[in-house]
């Protein structure tokens, strides 16, 4: 089955004939840009929640009306304890996108400070969801590039309050 792709011309070589007769294209070098394939798409705490170790499913009326994956989450349990997600992937290059929501309407700045490590390397530190997005508003991290040798481990922790995460998307960017 063929995937859709975008073609772009990388170079065109033109030959000029004597006496300015014609310009004829001699070579077209084309390259395809394939879209990244999503290999992991988890609504943390929701119906597709898988690959987790620790934490607890968290749902509540405050986020019930949000779109998936922001209508459920996984949070620290017990309070402040870290938790993780682990996925077995083929060796290659991936981008990881993490989705969050501050679930408490009464939260204020500094009450929940998160950190995330991927395969042991800190990729997010000092994330205060209330400060960057506000209460009950979705926040999506930048796409984080990672190279995987077989396992992808995402550790979520908090230096204040409970750690929370709503969604994980992993796209295969290996070409």
Give residue for tokens 């230096």. Answer: 159
Rounded CA gap, 26 and 123, in Å? 47
Rounded CA gap, 14 and 97, in Å? 43
Written as tens digits, the pLDDT of the chain (175 aa) is 334 444 443 444 444 444 544 444 444 434 444 557 989 999 888 877 899 999 888 777 667 777 788 777 888 777 778 999 999 999 999 999 999 988 888 889 999 999 999 999 999 999 999 999 998 889 999 889 999 998 999 999 999 999 999 999 999 998 6
Give residue for tokens 């620290």. Answer: 76
Residue 1: predicted pLDDT: 38
Q: 92-101 and 138-140 as β-strands: parallel, antiparallel, unpaired?
A: antiparallel
Rounded CA gap, 161 and 79, in Å? 7
Contact indicator for 96, 49 with CB cutoff of 8 Å: no
Question: What are the CA-CA distances from residue 149 to residues 87, 89, 95, 164 (Å)?
Answer: 11, 8, 14, 27
CA dihedral 98, 104, 110, 113 (to 10 degrees): -30
Contact indicator for 25, 12 with CB cutoff of 8 Å: yes
Rounded CA gap, 7 and 33, in Å? 6
Rounded CA gap, 52 and 67, in Å? 21
- Segment (H or E) for 98: strand 92-101
Rounded CA gap, 170 and 172, in Å? 7
**172-8-38 Cα angle (round to 5):** 15
């Amino acid at each position: 089955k063929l995937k859709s792709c975008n073609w772009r011309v990388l170079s065109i070589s033109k030959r000029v004939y004597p006496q300015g007769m014609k310009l004829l294209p001699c070579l077209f070098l084309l390259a395809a840009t394939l879209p990244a394939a999503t290999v992991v798409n988890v609504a943390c705490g929701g119906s597709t929640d898988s690959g987790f170790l620790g934490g607890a499913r968290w749902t509540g009326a405050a986020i019930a009306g949000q779109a998936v994956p922001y209508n459920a989450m996984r949070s620290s349990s017990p309070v402040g304890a870290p938790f993780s997600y682990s996925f077995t992937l083929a060796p290659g290059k991936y981008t990881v996108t993490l989705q969050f929501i501050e679930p408490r309407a009464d939260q204020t700045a500094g009450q929940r400070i998160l950190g995330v490590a991927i395969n042991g390397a800190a990729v997010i530190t000092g994330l205060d969801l209330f400060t960057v997005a506000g209460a009950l508003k979705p926040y999506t991290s930048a796409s984080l590039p990672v190279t995987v040798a077989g396992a992808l481990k995402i550790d979520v922790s908090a230096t204040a309050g409970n750690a929370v995460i709503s969604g994980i998307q992993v796209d295969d960017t290996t070409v």
